[in-house]
Amino acid sequence: MRIEVEGVDEVDDFVIVEAGEHLMRVGGAKEMPAADGGTSWMLRMEIVDGDMAGRTAVTDWLNFSTRGMRRVRMVLSALGFDVSDSLEVEPHELIGRKAYLRVATEETQRQPDQRIQRRSRVAYDGWSPVGETLPEPAEVAERSVSGSTGGSFAADEMPF
């Protein structure tokens, strides 16, 4: 068998869905140790509609650190949990729940060979409950306030 290797794309492309807002469901949720010794949950997000329904599109992480709790609350709320007060929830309780996710594509260079890798990731504030739509990224930028943490919602625009 002759294999033509010339003209082969030098990009490792792991993107399943292109950038944009997609309806997804939690297909898997697993507790993992975080780098700082704390706890993280790995969420495997599946496409809900279309030809690729059921296929894993992206993995997202919830970090239960002081800095990460705002996002944990936002994600749990988007998945239908009441986050107005403390709650008990385990990773398996997220499986099957749906939300809209804003997915971005990022490119990085793999070390040591400098190959380009394309992967999907969920935007920090890229979770929205089913029945609601996410603001466009430009709208989020206009609403955010700069700070040492890279920006956050203004106090009167917090979703909780």
Is residue 148 helix, strand or coil? coil
Q: Which of 7-11, 33-37, 75-79, 155-159 is least confident? A: 155-159
CA distance 42 to 91: 9
pLDDT tens, residue by residue, 40-54: 999 999 999 988 899
Domain spans, the chain: 11-82+94-145
The pLDDT tens digits of the residues spanning 132-153 come to 655 565 544 443 333 333 333 3
Is pTM, for the whole model, over 0.95?
no
Q: What is the mean pLDDT of the chain?
A: 82
% of the chain residues with pLDDT over 90: 53
The half-sphere exposure of 14 on its side-chain side, counting CA atoms within 13 A, is 13
